Amino acid sequence: MGFLRRGIGLLLAASVLAPFLAGAEPGESLTAPEKALVLGTAPFLEHSLMERYFKPIASYLTRTSGRPVEFVVAQDYAAMLEAAAQGTYDFWMAAPYPGVGENSTLIATASELEIHIITSRRAGIASLEELRGKTIASVAGSPAETMGIRMLEQAGLQVDRDFTLQHAISHDQVVLSVLQGQLEGGITSLDIRRLLHDELDADLLTLATSLPVPALTVMANPGLDPALIRQVQHLLKDFDDSKEAVGAPDGSSGFHFKAVPLDQ
């Protein structure tokens, strides 16, 4: 019996001391850290550029929402769509293209961009027609690729029949492959071209340009608390003026997030 009483006493002592050993105040209940929200996107830029331009958004939301936000770059566009469909992401960002809104709630758009079909001035190509029989770089599955192929079709050029499409892993690699003379043409966006130095950009020739389209859509997992979705939507509108945007390398402000009306 003495052994049993001692055992019960030790258990009671452990339950009383546990909050102190864990650094909690007496009477304070211990709760697990709040689960981080996941903000996902596709690798449409080289990884270091993705970190530079988009990680400040996650840092800003972490500071202002009161919830930790983790920034994740999918392996490719297909992996991003799959992760969104499976509910892996709480929020995700992508340019608008088929499938982007499935199983998700559109909460905001950002900026605008134009899709350009480009070549190097040194290639001696002056029109889309002169890309016939040539190789053109693009990012597989990207909205730029979809729109670029459509622009080429309107000019009478069919992929595989009239030109070869070669895939790059990011838009900056598309531009560099054209500048370095590895490929005769490329499909990319105006925003990507702005990342280049002026002397490099001067060597690019734009053969065709699309109408402006939203650069990004911001989607939310529809299973999230509607109050959280509205909070993040509201916070995104103020991102450009935040210290995270202004203090980022090269100044990553300029997204100009615009809220999209949500169903009540």
Residue 40 has pLDDT above 70, yes or no: yes
Alpha helices in the chain (DSSP H): 2-21, 47-65, 77-85, 143-154, 171-179, 190-193, 198-201, 226-236, 243-247
Question: Within a 13 Å sphere around the CA of 252, how many CA atoms are in the beta-carbon half?
Answer: 20
Per-residue confidence (pLDDT) for residue 248, from 0 to 100 = 57
7 in any annotated domain: no
Choice between 216 and 252, residue whose per-residue pLDDT is larger: 216
Q: Name which residue leads in pLDDT, 18 or 184.
A: 184
Q: 3-class DSSP state for residue 188? A: strand
What CATH number should be reported for the domain holding residue 243?
3.40.190.10
pTM of the model: 0.62
With a cut of 90, say whether residue 58 has pLDDT above it.
yes
* Structural domain of 192: 115-209
Contact 113, 181 (CB under 8 A): no
Q: Total domain count for the chain?
A: 2
Residues 88-102: tens digit of each pLDDT = 999 998 876 555 556
What pLDDT sits at residue 34? 74
- Tell me: do 186 and 137 sit in the same domain: yes
Same domain, 194 and 243: no
Are residue 143 and residue 177 in the same domain, yes or no? Answer: yes
Q: What share of the chain in percent tops pLDDT 70? A: 76
Q: Considering only residues 153 and 169, tell me which one the structure prediction assigns the higher pLDDT.
A: 153
Question: What's the order of all strands across the beta sheet hosting 164-168?
Answer: 164-168, 135-139, 185-189, 115-120, 204-209
Find the angle CA(86)-CA(217)-CA(213) to the nearest 5 degrees.
Answer: 140
Tell me, yes or no, whether 53 and 181 share the same domain. no
Q: How far apart are CA 17 and CA 31, in angstroms?
A: 16
Residue 42 domain flag: yes
pLDDT tens, 132-158? 999 999 988 777 888 899 999 999 999
Q: Where is pLDDT greater, at 49 or 181?
A: 181
The pLDDT value given to residue 192 = 57
For residue 110, the cross-strand partners are: 216, 257
Pairing relationship of beta strands 69-73 and 37-41 according to DSSP bridges: parallel
pLDDT at residue number 3 = 41
Does a structural domain hold residue 259? no
122, 203 contact by CB (below 8 A): yes
- CA-derived radius of gyration, the chain: 25
How far, in Å, CA of 236 to CA of 232, rounded? 6
- Give the separation between CA 44 and CA 100, rounded to whole angstroms: 14
179 with 151, same domain: the answer is yes
CA dihedral of residues 205, 209, 213, 216 (deg, nearest 10)? -20
Asked whether residue 164 is domain-assigned, the answer is: yes
What proportion of the chain, given as a percentage, has pLDDT over 90?
Answer: 41
pLDDT score of 89: 94
Position 29 confidence tier, pLDDT thresholds 50, 70, 90: very low
Question: What length does the chain have?
Answer: 264
The per-residue pLDDT for 196 is 61
> Which of 38-42, 67-71, 113-117 has the lowest average pLDDT?
113-117
pLDDT of 49 reads: 77
pLDDT tens per residue across span 170-188: 888 899 899 999 999 999 9
Residues 246 and 188 in one domain: no
Residues 246 and 192 reside in one and the same domain: no
pLDDT given at position 224: 92
With respect to residue 93, please indicate whether it lies within any of the assigned structural domains. yes
- pLDDT grade for 65, boundaries at 50, 70 and 90: very high
Which of residues 176, 194, 209 is at a domain's end?
A: 209
**What local confidence, expressed as pLDDT, does residue 259 receive?**
87
From 136, 191, 143, select the one nearest 158 (Cα to Cα).
136
